[in-house]
Amino acid sequence: MSKVEGVIFDWAGTTVDFGCFAPVNVFIDIFKQADIDVMMEEARAPMGMLKIDHIRAMLSMPRISKLWEERFGMPFTEQDVENLYGEFEPALMASLSEYTDPIPEVVETVQTLRNQGLKIGSTTGYTNTMMEVVVPHALKKGYGPDCYFTPDDTNSFGRPYPYMIYRNMEKLNLSASWKVVKVGDTVSDIQEGVNAGVWTVGVVIGSSEMGLSLDEYQSLSAAEREAVILQTEHSFMQSGADFTIKSMGELPQLIEEINRLIAEGKRPGANSI
């Protein structure tokens, strides 16, 4: 019987690093060092992309682009992108191991999926060098996928290109895109899944899209939580997600629902269900 064969997870903000804070703080810091004050929402907007692409996207934002031109007397250049990235990578590497705690429900959910015979893949906006820090630290804390691919493995074509998903499918011997589920916490995660033709799921609590630390989230009132959850869900669905889940514990039940849809002949497609 045709059913889901594998799940491909993002890393920061999805399976580890609640709120996806490791890269965000560094993006803000490197711009501050250039006398450019960027806002948290600007630093988060391109999240999930290859990190040098993320910096380029931030510099292309009208407000930041204008500030840069006022500060330096000319528009940013590709050399500026490379210079900022040259500061970004060592700064991120210095703190990355501190941001590898699995997000609540992830370890248990992955074990449940494996017990059901599913294969576990992953994609990321981190480079291979960064993942050499993240992967062993996460594994010590209980989380490890069967494989992972970075933009380094796809000629630097990271999200929203679908190639990292395809590499996972090849490695894990997944037979069709419509038998694959992609789970992520950013708009670029959703776009990656849509472009790959897989079932695409946005996870809300702990996501970069929500942008709250665990303490910040837990301190919200019930009404405030509901509002921020709805806002995040809306963003994912607007970006083409097939589904959203509040937290990872909901994923096994959702996969049962997707299996029912597959049995009915349904296929992934932007909000087509």
- Is 171 marked active-site? no
Q: Based on the residue annotation, tell me whether 10 is a catalytic residue of this protein.
A: yes
Catalogue the long-range contacts made by 221-229 (C-beta closer than 8 Å, 24 or more residues apart): 229/204, 229/205
Contact of 61 with 45, CB cutoff 8 Å: yes
Q: How far is Cα 257 from Cα 273, in angstroms, rounded to an integer?
A: 11
35 is in an annotated binding site: no
Angle at 22 between CA 164 and CA 239, to 5 degrees: 50
17 is in an annotated binding site: no
Which of 184, 213, 205 has its CA nearest to residue 24? Answer: 213
Question: Can you name the residues that pair with 119 across neighbouring β-strands?
Answer: 6
Catalytic residue among 17, 51, 53, 242: 51
Residue 45 in marked binding region: no
Q: Give the catalytic positions in this structure.
A: 10, 51
Binding residues: 10, 12, 185
Binding residues for Mg(2+): 10, 12, 185
